[in-house]
């Protein structure tokens, strides 16, 4: 009897091939399991990084943010860098978790849950409402209250003077927390910060991330923005004036000059800072979060007056600010809002405001003033509407006292 039987070489090769295939399959399975665990861990760490960044932004809503540019740690390996950007602040949050990196950039503005329709400073004068005027929402008004007015035979058309609760106002408007920062936009110190300069070219598209240095174009001469696209972390400054044509596309940029003219049918999202005058022509649309800002520290009289003038049929979504240190009384409006123009946001004017259009949001002013039929009427609202109930709850803008910051727009 044969104890051993000769095996053919082909069978051995077959066994060897099968063994190799099985080994490869096992090795592949082990590799896939390792890769799966690695991807799973990577996903967990990346998710944790995202959570840290979002938690940091949520935390900002409960904290007071200083005006200075600061960097501070919120969580382990999470850093927040702040930068002033017009009336807003930019928060750049970065986090690292086991080599997993995540970052987010947000534009922060002042936020208050319950928004007033009106804050009229106490000047020992009542508010007179005339014509189709409506004030819808809570209001701070002078102790002499609201009364029915009459201009050239036109009286108040409604039975209710205020569609909301009234509270007495103070002899001062709520303070703007970053007003000192806003004044710096007209000083040369602004250009001494960490910036890079570039040259404007008509027909070009310039885009700059808020994760990079600010791009600046500075000129002593008038600037005419036409057939150009500017997006992001860009600042345009003139020591003369800036004119913006409807062919210019501006998004998230800041323009600075003593005088700024926004021509007919301009569409964009930007902040305009002027020392003296901002003129907005008809049919202009500025989307949220835009801002029109005049900060003037000269004495105001009837011959020398800063102003923001917005023509008819305009749509402005954002903040309008006229701030002057002058305490002298004058009889000219410093902010004019014409008929059929709608402001969705807020108007802050510590001088005289002539409101002929509609505000879906809040108005803060020292006096109302309107010029009709050759006469000047102090603290009169004529065919105007202020309605805080139509302002989106998410709106944020000027950082007034007792307000927190929250995200107005994600920039990255």
* Most confidently predicted of 32-46, 184-198, 301-315, 332-346: 332-346
- In this predicted structure, the answer to whether residue 409 has a pLDDT above a threshold of 70 is yes
Q: Which of 146, 138, 140, 144 is nearest to 123 (CA)?
A: 144
- In this predicted structure, the answer to whether residue 4 has a pLDDT above a threshold of 60 is no
State what percent of residues in the chain have pLDDT above 70: 85
pLDDT in tens, 258-297: 999 999 999 999 999 999 999 999 999 999 999 999 998 8
Q: What integer best gives the mean pLDDT of the chain? A: 87
pLDDT in tens, 137-160: 999 999 999 999 999 999 999 999
pLDDT in tens, 216-258: 999 999 999 999 999 999 999 999 999 999 999 999 999 999 9
Residues in CB range of 47: below 8 A, 6 or more apart: none
Question: Residue 126: pLDDT band by 50, 70, 90 thresholds?
Answer: very high
pLDDT for 29? 75
- Regarding beta strands 150-151 and 154-155, do their DSSP bridges make them parallel or antiparallel, or are they unpaired? antiparallel
Q: Which of 287, 248, 282 is nearest to 271 (CA)?
A: 287
3-state secondary structure of 132: coil
Residues in CB range of 261: below 8 A, 6 or more apart: 241, 242, 243, 244, 279, 281
């Amino acid at each position: 009897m044969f104890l051993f039987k000769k095996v053919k070489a082909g069978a051995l090769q077959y066994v060897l091939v099968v063994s190799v295939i099985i080994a490869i399959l096992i090795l592949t399975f082990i590799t896939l399991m390792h890769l799966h665990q690695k991807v799973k861990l990577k996903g967990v760490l990346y998710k944790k990084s995202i959570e840290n960044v979002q938690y940091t932004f949520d935390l900002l809503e409960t904290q007071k943010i200083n005006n200075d540019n600061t960097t501070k740690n919120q969580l382990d390996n999470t850093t927040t860098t702040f930068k002033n950007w017009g009336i807003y602040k930019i928060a750049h949050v970065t986090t690292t978790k086991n080599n997993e990196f995540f970052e987010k950039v947000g534009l922060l503005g002042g936020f208050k849950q319950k928004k007033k329709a009106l804050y009229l400073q106490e000047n020992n004068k009542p508010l007179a409402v005339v014509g189709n005027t409506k004030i819808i929402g809570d209001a701070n008004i002078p102790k002499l209250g609201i009364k029915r007015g009459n201009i050239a035979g036109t009286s108040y058309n409604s039975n209710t003077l205020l569609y909301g609760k009234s509270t007495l106002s103070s002899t001062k408007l709520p303070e703007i927390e970053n007003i000192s920062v806003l004044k710096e936009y007209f000083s040369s110190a602004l250009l001494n910060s960490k910036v890079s300069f570039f040259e404007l070219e008509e027909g070009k598209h310039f885009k700059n991330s808020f994760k990079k240095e600010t791009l600046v174009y500075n000129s002593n001469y008038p600037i005419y923005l036409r057939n150009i696209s500017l997006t992001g972390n860009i600042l345009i400054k003139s020591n003369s004036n800036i004119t913006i044509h409807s062919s210019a596309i501006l998004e998230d940029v800041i323009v600075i000059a003593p005088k700024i003219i926004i021509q007919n049918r301009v569409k964009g999202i930007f902040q305009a800072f002027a020392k003296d005058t901002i003129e907005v022509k008809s049919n202009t649309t500025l989307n949220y979060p835009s801002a029109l800002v005049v900060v003037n520290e000269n004495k105001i009289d009837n011959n020398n007056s800063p102003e923001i003038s917005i023509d008819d049929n305009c749509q402005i979504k954002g903040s309008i600010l006229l701030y002057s240190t002058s305490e002298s009384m004058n009889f000219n409006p410093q902010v004019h809002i014409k008929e059929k123009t709608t402001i969705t946001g807020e108007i802050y004017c510590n001088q005289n405001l002539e409101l002929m259009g509609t505000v879906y949001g809040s108005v803060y002013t020292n006096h109302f003033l309107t010029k009709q039929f050759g006469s000047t009427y102090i603290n009169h609202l004529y065919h105007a509407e202020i309605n805080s109930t139509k302002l989106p709850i998410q709106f944020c803008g000027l950082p007034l006292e007792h307000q927190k910051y929250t995200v107005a727009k994600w920039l990255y």
